[in-house]
């Protein structure tokens, strides 16, 4: 079985090398039941991210323009599909995701328990270094409620970018991946198309460098827009 880490990176010159080093250390010290590869999607970075990737000979795709997290991740799914990977895992390049938690979301997919597994900060009490503010957590709860109303399934960590997809989900997401609010909207599309989605508790860490792609989560405007997008996605016919 072959697993691919999709690592979207925009202006991550200060963190991407360390992220790759941690992945390599993880591979060396663990006897994995699968082959683990990774590809960095350099999303039109304007800093030295591309130079770091070239210097370290990291497998990567350079996007000419900044497509945003949605376009970068979809590029990764296209790469995974074209190279016939069994599982694709979205993994941040900023050091927030804990590589030691990888098996928790990969194994349920490999064992065919789910088509798509979300690494969650909220399904169990996990000791980690992630500090979620009250307003940020409230925003996630509101998004979770919107998804539950539309799709009749409770998803606790709706904005988590630490997610594993099987071949069927890879094929789907490589052709249909939201741009504006990719994490919550993609959950809606997957649920509407009868994909089996589960959550597993993982560790996450606070971002130390760079800029979060969902930094507006505590904004009232953002919450109105993402909630509206969820309801629109929920009631649209697929293919529209």
Average pLDDT over residues 8-22: 96
Query: Per-residue pLDDT for 210 more than 50?
Result: no
Two tokens, residue 128: 């980690």
Number of domains in the chain: 1
Q: Is residue 79 part of a domain?
A: yes
Average pLDDT over residues 46-68: 97
CATH number assigned to the domain comprising residue 94: 3.90.550.10
Is residue 153 very low, low, confident or very high in pLDDT (cuts 50, 70, 90)?
A: very high
Q: Is residue 240 part of a domain?
A: no
User: Using alpha carbons only, what angle is made at residue 88 by residues 199 and 156, rounded to the nearest 5 degrees?
Assistant: 20
Q: Is residue 212 part of a domain?
A: yes
- How far apart CA 7 and CA 36 sit, in angstroms, is 13
Q: Is residue 102 part of a domain?
A: yes
Average pLDDT over residues 67-89: 97
The chain-wide mean pLDDT, for the chain, equals: 90
Lowest model confidence (mean pLDDT) among 180-184, 190-194, 222-226? 222-226
Query: Per-residue pLDDT for 207 more than 90?
Result: no
Task: Please tell me the predicted confidence (pLDDT) of residue 240.
Answer: 47
Q: Is residue 18 part of a domain?
A: yes
Lowest model confidence (mean pLDDT) among 76-80, 115-119, 132-136? 132-136
Chain centroid offset of residue 168 CA: 17
Two tokens, residue 183: 């994490």
Query: Per-residue pLDDT for 45 more than 90?
Result: yes
Q: Is residue 197 part of a domain?
A: yes
Query: Per-residue pLDDT for 184 more than 90?
Result: yes
Strand order in 2-9's β-sheet? 60-63, 35-43, 2-9, 87-90, 163-166, 116-120, 197-201
Chain centroid offset of residue 113 CA: 19
Bridge partners of residue 166, in order along the sequence:
87
H helix runs in 56-166, sequence order:
68-82, 102-110, 134-151
Query: Per-residue pLDDT for 74 more than 50?
Result: yes
Two tokens, residue 49: 């991210």
- Residue-wise pLDDT tens digits, 92-123: 998 889 999 999 999 999 999 999 999 998 88
Distances from the Cα of 153 to the Cα of 150, 158, 172, 221, angstroms: 8, 12, 20, 25
**143: domain range?**
2-235
Query: Per-residue pLDDT for 211 more than 70?
Result: no
- How far apart CA 212 and CA 233 sit, in angstroms, is 24
Average pLDDT over residues 60-81: 97
Query: Per-residue pLDDT for 237 more than 80?
Result: no
């Amino acid at each position: 079985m072959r697993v691919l880490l999709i690592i979207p990176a925009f202006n991550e010159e200060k963190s991407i090398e360390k992220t790759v080093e941690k992945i390599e250390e993880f591979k060396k010290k663990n006897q994995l039941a699968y082959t683990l590869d990774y590809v960095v999607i350099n999303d039109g970075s304007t800093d030295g991210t591309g130079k770091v990737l070239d210097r370290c000979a990291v497998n990567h795709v350079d996007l000419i323009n900044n497509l945003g997290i949605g376009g970068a991740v979809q590029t990764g799914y296209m790469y995974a599909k074209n190279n016939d990977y069994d599982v694709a895992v979205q993994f941040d390049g900023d050091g927030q995701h804990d590589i030691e938690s990888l098996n928790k979301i990969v194994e349920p997919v490999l064992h065919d328990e789910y088509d798509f597994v979300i690494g969650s900060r909220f399904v169990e009490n996990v000791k980690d270094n992630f500090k979620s503010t009250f307003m940020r957590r409230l925003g996630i709860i509101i998004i979770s409620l919107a998804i539950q109303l539309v799709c009749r399934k409770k998803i606790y960590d709706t904005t988590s970018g630490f997610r594993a997809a099987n071949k069927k989900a890879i094929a789907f997401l490589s052709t249909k991946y939201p741009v504006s609010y990719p994490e919550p909207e993609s959950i809606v599309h997957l649920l509407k198309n009868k994909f089996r989605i589960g959550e597993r508790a993982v560790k996450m860490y606070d971002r130390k460098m760079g800029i979060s792609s969902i930094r507006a989560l505590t904004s009232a405007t953002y919450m109105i827009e993402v909630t509206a997008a969820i309801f629109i996605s929920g009631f649209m016919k697929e293919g529209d």
